[in-house]
Amino acid sequence: MSSINDLWHSLSPRTIAVDCPWTSALLLILGSVSLGQFLLKALYVFTQTFLLSGTSLKKFGAKKGAWAVVTGASDGIGREYALQLAKAGFNILLVARNQQMLATLAEEISTKYGPSVTARVQLIDFAQNSEAAFQSLATVIESLDVGVLVNNVGKSHEMPVDFIDTPPAEIADILTINITGTLRLTSIVLPIMKKRRGGLILNMGSFAGAVPSPMLATYSASKAFLTTFTAALAPEVAPYGITVQHLNTFFVVSKMSKLRKPSPLVPMPSTYVKSVLSKVGLSCGAAFTGRPGTATPFWSHAVADWLIGSVGWVSLFVGYTHRMHKDIRRRALAKKAREAKKA
């Protein structure tokens, strides 16, 4: 027992400070540096999220005749991007597959903001990956002075599902829409932005890309791809005045999320888009983890991103996500069973 007490005494902070002053000083310095770094990063995150304003949209051609190209514009977040960018003074090219919804939105934009703002419609089904459709879209875009591209079009799984049970068509659609569609649109728009020496590209991401998400494996991987793609592309085009940002996004009220009621963690599309457009060029919640090109602009998403980065225990969040998705799938299957029984 005395030997244990002696060992404990020898390892006590007071003993180390007296008997090993250099070791004590080194530990104190390292601890102070680590604490200082943590506090500085936290201050950086909270200052960007709650105090600073992002780059003005005027830099990218707002109210100067420039165009904003918005994919997946027929509903939800994409629709809000179109409305708010039109309000900011951009002409809008609405890109999606639903002609009726796009036509209605174009008419709404023209009624609210015309004649100073023009809205046009271009139909394309990104899941088809049609070369003719992309060529037609490129012909239209190449005639415009594009200042903003919002790569918003996306697809997730119908419900959480193990990869082995995921329908091949669903896998193909997710990869084609989320990855190929973004790459093709970006490659069409970049030469225009390079020529005009400026532009803004927003790639819609997800927390599922930051934290590997079991039972959404394909979707999670597609969003992780966008994180790396943005981080690699951003420094390539920065010398031409082009800003590229990957938006790390938690839940938003939308058809994709299947959430209908807003909460502090789940904003309405209008609230979310407003936060994005007010924080252009700032990392906000993503600043703590140092992911180049990534931003988490909405305040509660930013705090959540900061907390995840602070903890740094990714397997903990993977396990939580897996349990959550198992529960979501159980409830979704039960709902389908009830609906089938009523039918």
- Residue 192 lies inside a defined structural domain of this protein: yes
- Residue 35 lies inside a defined structural domain of this protein: no
- Residue 20 lies inside a defined structural domain of this protein: no
Does the pLDDT at position 34 exceed 80? no
- Residue 232 lies inside a defined structural domain of this protein: yes
> Which member of 219, 240, 272, 320 is catalytic?
219
- Residue 33 lies inside a defined structural domain of this protein: no
Does the pLDDT at position 48 exceed 70? yes
What average pLDDT does the segment 85-106 reach?
Answer: 97
- Residue 333 lies inside a defined structural domain of this protein: no
Domain around 149: 54-328
How many structural domains does the chain have? Answer: 1
pLDDT at 7: 46
Mean pLDDT for the chain?
A: 91
Q: Which residues are documented as binding site? A: 206
Residues 322-333 have pLDDT tens digits of 999 999 999 999
- Residue 303 lies inside a defined structural domain of this protein: yes
What average pLDDT does the segment 175-185 reach?
Answer: 98
Encode burial over 233-256: b for 16+ CB neighbours within 10 A, e otherwise. Answer: bbeebeeeebbbbbbbbbbbbbeb
Q: Which residues are documented as binding site for substrate? A: 206
> What pLDDT band is residue 178 in, cutting at 50, 70 and 90?
very high
Which domain CATH number covers 255? 3.40.50.720
pLDDT at 8: 44
Residues 241-286 have pLDDT tens digits of 999 999 999 999 988 888 889 999 999 999 999 999 999 999 999 9
| CB-based contact 298:267 (threshold 8 Å) | yes
pLDDT at 343: 74
- Residue 132 lies inside a defined structural domain of this protein: yes
Residues 310-325 have pLDDT tens digits of 887 888 999 999 999 9
Does the pLDDT at position 75 exceed 90? yes
Q: Is 272 a catalytic residue?
A: no
